[in-house]
Structure formats: C-alpha cells, structure tokens
Amino acid sequence: MTKRALFDAALAATKDWHAALPQAAAFCDWPTDLAYTERAPHMLSAANRIQTTPGTPNSASAPLLAALQALAPHLEWRHTYSADEVGHHFLDHFGWFELAGPTGHFVTRRTRITVGYWGAGLHYGRHHHTAEELYTVVAGHGTFHLDGAPDLNLLPGDTRFHASDQPHALTTTDSPILTLVFWRGDGLADPPRLTLEETAP
C-alpha cells in the first residue's frame, strides 16, 4: 500500500470505531471537512513500541490496531512534554500523534482525534485542557484517575469522558495502553498542561 492508502485505511478504521462505540458517536459527529495533508514523519520510540508491544486488543479493536501499526513509520509523533516535566524514562515509553484535527494528518476544524501510547509501569500525572475529551481504549489497559470520580481500570472498548479543565491522570501497571481520543469544543489546537499541585482542590 502507498503511504496515502495507509492513511486512508487508518482513517476508515477510525471512522468504523467511532460509529461502533455509542459513547464516541454521541460525543461528536464524524467530521465532514477532513482534508489529507502531507506532514513530515517524526520518529519517537513509541513508533516501534506500538508495533512490538501495543497491548492486547479485543476482537472489535484489532482492525484499528493493525491499521495504526501500519502507519507508525509515517507519523508525526509528538511528546508535548519535556524531560524536565516528566523524565526521560516516561518520554522513551510515550508518544502520541494527531490523526485528525487543526494540525493533524487530516485537517479538520470540527474535532481532534489523537492516538496516545504509554508503556507498562508509567504514571502520567494530573493534567488538564479546555477542550472536552473522550478517551477510548484500543489495546492494553490502564487506570484512569479523574478529580471527583472513582478510579477506573479501562479495557479495550471502554471509554472515559473528561470535562473542560477537569484534571485527570493515567497509570499503567503490567500492560501498555493504546488509546484513541476525541476532543470537542474550545481549545482544539491547545496542548494539555500538567496540573500544578498547588492548584489542586
């Protein structure tokens, strides 16, 4: 397959995933303004890790996982955070990319669809952002922390909603986790920010 065909296949698998998950379909409409854009690949160790140790999918998420793995060498992988903020070990086992959104491989102004990977045994500390968010788990599992709510261990097909500026965090134990995340509302192009402890309630 050509690179463009791989992107189209991954977008089609993502559209199927969005349509099949009631929480995702209710969270946002599938964007109708998607425009493929050439973006230079940017490799991080996460690109290899989602191919070698992605975590276990379920039967519904296996096609999406395969489509995302095929894209791995062509993606503009990002970290957002610095080693000063999260440490070198975290950065070596973490990466994300914007499949669709204001600065995505497919440009849209309606939503932002990102894919995030965390290796086993990581803690992604409390962070927040203006846009509302729906996490969906594609492979592996992890514990999602949300201010004012019980922790949830999420498996493939599970989802969690984060309201605007509601701090949340993620811990992985014995498995990596691969997530596909939808954003809506204001601040679609903004990065998440770590929530400083002195601002905690």
Binding site for Zn ion (CB under 5 A): 133
Identify whether the C-beta of residue 101 lies closer than 8 Å to the C-beta of residue 170. no
Query: Which sign, positive or negative, has the C-alpha torsion 66, 25, 102, 172?
Result: negative
Q: How far is the CB of 180 from Zn ion (least distance, A)?
A: 13
- Pick between residue 98 and residue 133 the one whose CB is nearest to Zn ion: 133
Within its chain, how far is the Cα of 197 from the centroid? 24
Q: How far is the CB of 27 from Zn ion (least distance, A)?
A: 13
**Planar angle of CA 13, 38, 112, nearest 5 degrees:** 50
- Pick between residue 125 and residue 157 the one whose CB is nearest to Zn ion: 125
Within its chain, how far is the Cα of 170 from the centroid? 12
- Pick between residue 73 and residue 191 the one whose CB is nearest to Zn ion: 191
Q: How far is the CB of 106 from Zn ion (least distance, A)?
A: 20
Q: Which residue is nearest to Zn ion (CB)?
A: 133
Q: How far is the CB of 183 from Zn ion (least distance, A)?
A: 8
Q: How far apart are CA 113 and CA 4, in angstroms?
A: 18
